[in-house]
Structure 1
Amino acid sequence: MLLPDVITIGATDPQAAHAFYKSVFLPTGVEHRDERVELDLHGVAQLAVCPSEALAAEANVEPKAPGYRGYVLTYIVDQPSEVRSILDAAAQHGASVLKPAKKAMFAGFSGVFQAPDGAVWKLASSEKKDTGPAQETPVPSEVGVLLGVADTKASTAFYQALGMTVDRDYGSKYIDFKPTSGGCRLGLMDGGMLAKDAGVKESGGAGFRAAAFERVAASRDEVDSLLAAVTPAGGHVAAAGAETSPGVYSGYFVDPDGFLWRATSA
């Protein structure tokens, strides 16, 4: 099943981005791999930061990216006070608050910020009021990726062709897929609606999004099978499967809306 195991963000200043996320999310583990830094978000998800130009070069795409990249990363915690504490930490370390922390009409309690690297994050809790003491270090119950797409039904068909199973379906407004243990939830939303929900005025456009969503496969054959299914489903392969570093086999593909994925096997 295709679900993002690792969210990789391309940044013009990877060290600054790494320092920002380390200060805001307080990861339980940090691993340095040359210019790439991987952060363990409390065992719930893996976040990586690398130079934008290096990511674009690996994927054979142009490195230019719009201010808003057309996707929103979600960080779900237990209580409203935890949403507030993370949002405050983000603002203190240079993020722009796009939507202050407050009760949401249909989604409990939430707030949105744009990190200095450009990525937009939505913090949310299903609870509208605290039910107990807040965790000193808020641990997410779920981390996800929301893609702003032109046609949710067409995008859903693409991801279903690559092996994903729909979980919640709200028609043209929102669709997501069943997550796996240790994987991020993937959701699709109309691009204009997602931008409005995030508090930005632009839809995100097309082109390089300064991010790659990575699927860690069990074998090289699984990587090749996944890449082989991309073009018939309506996407395109950006970089064919190859040994990108000793013992690591990977390839890149782009979905119909221009979002970049990496399939890799160690």
Structure 2
Amino acid sequence: MEPRLSLITLGVADLPRAVAFYRDVLKLPQLDSPPVVAFFELGKTWLSLFPRSDLAADAGVPAEGSGFPGFTLAHNLRSPEEVDALLAEVVAGGGRLVKPAQHAEWGGYAGYFADPDGFLWEVAWNPHFPHL
């Protein structure tokens, strides 16, 4: 398998609400999409928002379940000040602050927010991360 990730699809409870959050609050560039799904370009990877029940049906698994899904998404920034600013902007736009940003034992600065469907995003400044 080639070492790349092409698409991340999040199963959301309310597609218009999720689209508004990712487009208007996180300011991700939305691509032309059919009305049943939304695509956002993240460099060479796309983010897709799709109704949770439809995504579960497509995979052949139950849609029920809550709590920690076993993964987080991450966004690295160029400074601790950018981390604080983005977390404040996300909270003002309807995201939920899960963990305020703080200095991390690995030498960076990071915090977490949850989107309206509870998906966790780490927002970090990592002085060791090469791709900014």
Question: Above 0.5 in TM-score?
Answer: yes
Inter-CA distance 87–45: structure 2 relative to 1 (3 Å threshold): farther
Gaps of 5+ in 2: none
Partners of 1:124 and 1:72 lie apart in 2 by: 12
How does the TM-score come out when normalised to structure 1? 0.45
Cα offset, 1:33, TM superposition: 2.1
The secondary structure found in structure 2 opposite 1:35 is coil
**Secondary structure in 1 aligned to 2:118?**
coil
- Partners in 2 of 1:85 and 1:24 — Cα distance? 12
**What is the TM-score with the length of structure 2 in the denominator?**
0.86
Deviates more, 1:14-23 or 1:24-33: 24-33
What is the alpha-carbon distance in structure 2 between the residues aligned to residue 11 and residue 87 of structure 1? 21
Q: Which residue of 2 aligns with 1:105?
A: 105
What is the CA–CA distance in structure 2 between the aligned matches of 1:17 and 1:114, rounded to whole Å? 12
C-alpha displacement at 1:24, in angstroms? 2.9
1:36 and 1:62 map into 2 onto residues whose CA distance is 19
Structure-1 separation of matches of 2:9 and 2:3? 16
User: For the residues of structure 1 that align with 2:117 and 2:36, how far apart are their CA atoms?
Assistant: 16
Distance 2:84 2:20 in 1: 20
Unaligned runs of 5+ in 1: 128-139, 142-266
For the residues of structure 2 that align with 1:82 and 1:24, how far apart are their CA atoms?
15
Q: Which has the larger radius of gyration?
A: 1
What is the identity percentage for the equivalent residue pairs of Structure 1 and Structure 2? 30
The answer to whether the Cα contact below 8 Å between 2:102 and 2:111 also exists between their aligned partners in 1 is yes
1:17 aligns with 2:22: no
Q: Deviations over 1:114-167 (max 9, x none)?
A: 11111000011124xxxxxxxxxxxx83xxxxxxxxxxxxxxxxxxxxxxxxxx
CA distance in 2, matches of 1:39, 1:61: 25
Aligned ranges for residues 115-154 of structure 1 at < 5 Å? 115-127=115-127, 141=132
Matched AA of 1:119: F
CA contact (8 A) 1:24 1:86 kept: no
* AA matched with 1:15: P
User: How big is each residue's C-alpha offset from its partner over 1:17-46, in whole Å with a ceiling of 9 and x where there is no partner?
Assistant: 1111112321234322231000113x2532
State the Cα RMSD in Å.
Answer: 1.8
Shift of 1:4: 2.2
Contact kept? 2:30, 2:38, Cα under 8 Å:
no
- Give matches, 1:75-224, under 5 Å: 75-127=75-127, 141=132
Matched-pair contact (CA < 8 Å) for 2:6–2:44:
no
SS at the partner of 2:78? Answer: coil
Find the residue that maps to 1:33 and give its secondary structure. Answer: coil
Q: What secondary structure is seen at the aligned counterpart in 1 of 2:72?
A: strand
Give runs of ≥4 in structure 1 deviating > 3 Å. none
Cα separation, 1, equivalents of 2:66 and 2:107: 28
